[in-house]
Amino acid sequence: MTETQYLAPHSLDEAVSALLAANGTGRILAGGTDLLVQMQAGIVKPGLIVNIKKIPEMTSIEETPDGGFRIGAAVAGAVVGEHERLGKAWPGVVEAINLIGSTQVQGRASAGGNLCNASPAADSVPALVAAGAVATIHGPNGRRTVPVEEVPAGPGRTNLAPGEILVSFTLPPRPPHSSDAYLRMIPRTEMDIAVVGCGVSLTLENGKCTAARVGLGAVAPTVLLVKDAADALIGSKLEDDALEAAAEACRAACRPIDDKRGTIAYRTKVAGVLLKRAAAIAADRAGRA
């Protein structure tokens, strides 16, 4: 029986080297709220656990010079929720991150972990996708950035190369009259995995939608960026027709499965409902008259 090693490096390079040396048996520990559950179930038996919470860049929230935000991948949800200016600019992203698990889980779980766990039902991901968030990745060959929607490869799999670590998310600056919202459907009021999750980010000009992005979770192997839904919103004043067209685009994008959490028919129908509701909330937040 090989014993698991534990490491808490203070720099990314140190973490990357350790991960590479672990030859694929290394696992990154951010909040640990997925990793420890998988270890408990015996699904994962890491040779090395790399706690990256001692790396300052990964545990801080910064405002970028252009007015955007950079959120460290390991920042706990509760900390995200307490950042006032972030909450004002990106209420949908914040509410999505704050929906990951209970109060207890919020004390630990991070958006980075949520993305890298690569569950199609991850709550923060549709909102980050809708927000146009960009992931910064640090690896053996330096840094690269990719849109969030390109990080997951399938259930439980990411497009990160060996030794690569997700460092942070960058949210772009917000034009005036912009906002976002995230809604998920769960059977209870808390403590469930999303049956469907939907994030909508939009910008209004004189009541007209000039930009929009829609992220949809738990309806396909990875979280979807639903361009057709966004296109249906853009140019409209979010009238019923436009919302219905966007909802239809969401339903059409669904490739869900039947499982213990929901049926194909149910998930498809709910995707449209959540789109409409999330778009309405985002529009209200953006200052719709």
Tell me, by CB under 8 A, how many residues bind other proteins: 45
- Using rule CB under 8 A, residue 33 touches other proteins: yes
Chain centroid to Cα 207, Å, comes to 28
- Using rule CB under 8 A, residue 4 touches other proteins: yes
Among the listed residues 154, 128, 140, the one whose alpha carbon sits nearest the alpha carbon of residue 15: 140
- Using rule CB under 8 A, residue 101 touches other proteins: yes
**Could you give the CA distance from residue 3 to residue 240 in angstroms, rounded to a whole number?**
59
The CB-of-45 to other proteins minimum distance in angstroms stands at 9
**Could you give the CA distance from residue 114 to residue 108 in angstroms, rounded to a whole number?**
11
- Using rule CB under 8 A, residue 40 touches other proteins: yes
The half-sphere exposure of 159 on its side-chain side, counting CA atoms within 13 A, is 14
**Out of 3, 84, 239, 240, the residue judged to bind other proteins by CB under 8 A:** 3
Range 178-237, binding other proteins (CB under 8 A): 185, 187-193, 195
Backbone angles phi, psi at 175, to 5 degrees: -65, 165
The CB-of-100 to other proteins minimum distance in angstroms stands at 11
Chain centroid to Cα 131, Å, comes to 10
Residue type, 156: G
Question: What would the x/- binding string for other proteins be over residues 242 to 271, using CB under 8 A?
Answer: ------------------xxxx-xx--xx-
- Using rule CB under 8 A, residue 23 touches other proteins: no
Looking at the Cβ atoms of 142 and 260, the one nearer to other proteins is: 260
- Cβ neighbors of 165 (< 8 A, separation 6 or more) are 12, 15, 16, 19, 28, 52, 73, 137, 138, 139
**Could you give the CA distance from residue 51 to residue 14 in angstroms, rounded to a whole number?**
11
The CB-of-48 to other proteins minimum distance in angstroms stands at 9
| Positions that interact with other proteins (CB under 8 A) | 1, 3-6, 8, 29, 31-33, 36-37, 39-41, 49, 51, 53, 76, 78, 101-105, 107-108, 185, 187-193, 195, 260-263, 265-266, 269-270, 273
